[in-house]
Amino acid sequence: MKRKGLGLLVVLLVGLVFLVVGVLVAADVPDQIVINNTGYKADKKGPVHFSHKKHHADYKVACTECHHDYQNGKNVWKEGDPVQHCSKCHNPLKKQGKVPKLQNAYHKNCKTCHKKLAKAGKKTGPYKKCSQCHAKK
């Protein structure tokens, strides 16, 4: 009897640890991200409210469509790797070699996908109307 109780306790504790770790990992990937960088020549547009979780969970967009770490021209980033802000590598003021400047990095990533899906007749996100992404300033 006593040993059974102990076994159960261990199972419960292990379960708890997994639960806590699970919550922590999930917390690493936010549901909604407000994209509002500074450092642009002119900050003309309002911030962008981006449904991060929906994009991968509901719209089934692979992480690697948006996250990358190029080594010798190949994207070696994989799920679980740390994620840096786009602005860490994309300069808001100028293009650096093959690395587009920050505004273009976002527009190319977000709008190109939306447009491509629209052309294919699929459900998609905005790519024409600025106000469908940018909040009012």
Task: Quote the CA–CA distance of 18 and 21 in Å, as a whole number.
Answer: 5
Binding mask 2-21 toward ligand HEC (x if CB under 6 A, else -) reads: --------------------
Task: Quote the CA–CA distance of 121 and 110 in Å, as a whole number.
Answer: 17
CB of 76 to ligand HEC, least distance (A): 10
Which structure tokens are listed for 34? 């407000």
Residue count, binding to ligand HEC (CB under 6 A): 62
Task: Quote the CA–CA distance of 101 and 109 in Å, as a whole number.
Answer: 12
By CB under 6 A, name the binding residues for ligand HEC.
28-30, 33, 35-37, 40, 42-45, 47-48, 50-52, 54-56, 59, 61, 63, 65-70, 73, 79, 83-90, 98-100, 103, 105-111, 113-114, 117, 123-127, 130, 132-134
